[in-house]
Structure 1
Amino acid sequence: MTKKTIRSLAVAGLVLALAGCGSTGSTVSTSSVASGASAEKQDVRFPDAGSAWLKGGTFIDVEQLRRIGRGMTKNQVRELISYPHFGEGLFGPKEWDYLFNFRTGKGDEFVTCQYKVVFKDGVSDAMYWKEPACADFLKPKVTEVVRAAVPAAPERFKLAADALFAFDKSGTADMLPAGRKQLDELASQLKGRYKRLDNITVIGHTDRLGASGYNQRLSVARAATVRDYLVAQGLPQGALRAHGVGESQPVVQCADSLGRPELIACLQPNRRVELEVSGER
């Protein structure tokens, strides 16, 4: 017997063996996952997974698998996902079957899926999964984009100092009933509006009457009194800060030609306490 004869017999035996391996399996009703294919289900035969020559399947490059579509030659399919894993026969097979492994994301766990490419007139025409859920592994993973929270602009409150304190006074004992009521309501409002208070800045202001040094100390003292009062009403001490700017930030200008009572009344908006509040609402 010649070597050529022996080789021919070996090839023939291999063909028969492969054909025999492809003879077992099961039929499932499923739809082609090819783009543009009909959603109508068809009876599709899949070989028994144990008959694959590539035992255990292979971990497929998902990006390559996503590129499989209709109208591709066998060479083009093979370039993307390699040779079929079952014995469909060596001469003119119309179906290529594969075993693909996919990681589940739970440690080393993976699942094995059977995939079929059906050829018609020499090009790919339909693709099937034995288990339809396997197609989900080809869906692009949605990465949740966590956007950095944009801090909201501080909320501002303005309180008239003349309503808070007796004229030219700054202590807790000098606070007027109307002023205490304003601060009580403000504290309640902030506690109800904010889940978390990060910063409460109390800023004292005065008018320009008197020496600038005295006005600076008065503005600081009034801001500190308001801060301490709000702490007593239950606002977080760590979030509260107080400082004064004296007469440096007026909101109105008044002529010196006015009589003193009229000038005091005109400058009233400059005598104030402001709060800047920030936190999570």
Structure 2
Amino acid sequence: MAELGFNEHHQNEVINYMRFARSKRVQRLKTIDSCFEDLKESRLVEETFTADEVSDMLEGLQAVVRGEVEMELINTTHTNVLLLRQLFSQAEKYYLKLQTDVSELENRELLEQVAEFEKTDFKTTNKTSQDVSKPKLAPLNEGGVSELLNKEIARLQEENDKLKARLKTLESQATSALDEKSKVEQALKDLQRVQTDQQFTRRSQEITDLEGTVETLREDFQKSLSATTASQKDLQDNLVAAKHDLLRVQEQLALAEKELEKKFQQTAAYRNMKEILAKKNEQMKEIRKKLQKYESE
């Protein structure tokens, strides 16, 4: 069996085209035969002809046969163009670019192979395919489109995986920043609590000392009052002075507390904590913007 290098489907398509070409060729040959028959019936009625008459008949026959052959060749060319149009249209639907090599059309080896194919395979398949309706042309290289789609899907999947990994990284960074911010805030609270405890302890000690002083003055006043009434006025004055001292000390204590708080705010630790919190807040804002961007995508 002659082989043309096609699969079974394409070989059947070639057979259908060769059957069509042969039917057209047979019709044209019949037309040429009828030209000769017409010449015999219309002109060859006498027994003898002169040379001019024979030349005239041959020229007329030549013109008719030439016209028929030229018409057949033109029609064959146009038919081949329509066949190529079908193939190219199918290829363009799937973004394929077909190429032709005109030099192969004169390859004697391939032409003999086609002739052998027509003599053997074409004749054997002619009988079996007479009742089969002519199918429509099937898409060429259909697997190429699937391959392109699979590649595009794989690329999109890979890009999606990268975006997911990037999102996980940003989420991890955001979580770490939140944890670090919480630690810094807790450290600041602990520091403030320690400072407050220390201030409260000092304030309590000062109040205790003042209360002890007042109590001592009160005891001295009681002793002085019981000892002599003459010094009562002095003791009362001393008591008033002690109360004024107590008020003055309390006022000084309040001023000292405000001064301590002001000094604490001016300490390097407080400023560092404040700068760290400001930086973390800016980082959180940037991370939230990035997260919002990726969530929208």
TM class by shorter-chain length?
under 0.3
Q: Which structure's residues are more often helix, by fraction?
A: 2
More RCO (CA 8 Å, sep 6+): 2
TM-score (norm 1): 0.22
Q: Which structure's residues are more often strand, by fraction?
A: 1
